[in-house]
Amino acid sequence: MRNLIVLITLLIIVSVIFAIGIESTASSNHDPNITRDDVLKVAKEVHPPGCTDSMTADYCTLPTTGPLRNEIYDMLKLGMHKDEVIDALVNRYGTQILAAPEQKGFQWIAWILPFLAILGGTIFTLNLIKKIRKERESESFSESVSSNFKIIEDQQQRIEKEMNNLL
């Protein structure tokens, strides 16, 4: 009985080790069938050398785009992931190859500043609208008060006139 328990335990351990080994070799093997879409997903993140900043490598038509796409294809074929490819391109060409600034350090300003500008503009506009409404309300109030005083004065003059007529 004891031998049976030891045998079952050993079988379980061996099968777990075997399953882990198969999974690790399956994940280390890369897919050699890299599609054009795989390359363009990475190319969308970078500018080809010599291309304007508004064009990324996924749709730029300059001659420098072809070799960059081939380089991306070769890295993907080696089993590198998208982030690894982009890091390798930054190491080779510098951060100016990135289509968007990195989200770290001083470059956070490029990400935060547009939102702060929109927020500041919204606050300014709301305060301006509030001020204009207040001015209109105070003008209309003063106009209504002055018109009320005019009505009272007119009524008082009529009353005085009639009192004079009666006396």
Helix, strand or coil for residue 81?
coil
Which residues face 98 on adjacent strands?
Answer: 46
Residue 78 shares a structural domain with residue 51: yes
Report DSSP state, residue 167.
Answer: -
- The pLDDT, as a whole number, for residue 132 is 85
For residue 117, pLDDT over 50 is answered with yes
Euclidean distance between CA atoms 157 and 151, whole angstroms: 10
Average pLDDT, the chain: 77
Q: Are residues 111 and 67 in the same domain?
A: no
| Co-location of 114 and 135 in the same domain | yes
Q: Which residue blocks in the chain are alpha helix, DSSP H?
A: 2-28, 36-43, 65-77, 82-93, 108-166
Name the residue range of residue 10's domain. Answer: 1-30
pLDDT tens-digit map of 36-80: 888 888 888 887 877 766 677 777 777 878 888 899 999 999 999
Q: Is 104 a residue whose pLDDT tops 50?
A: yes
The label of the residue with tokens 């702060």 reads 116
pLDDT for residue 108: 67
With 50 as the cut, is the pLDDT of residue 105 above it?
A: yes
pLDDT at residue 143 greater than cutoff 80:
no
Residue 26 shares a structural domain with residue 38 = no
User: 42, 65, 100 — which closes off a domain?
Assistant: 100
Beta carbons of 41 and 35 less than 8 angstroms apart = no
Res 73: pLDDT? 92
Same domain, yes or no: 56 and 110 = no
**Lowest-confidence segment of 64-78, 108-122, 131-145 by average pLDDT:** 131-145
Beta bridge partners of 16: none
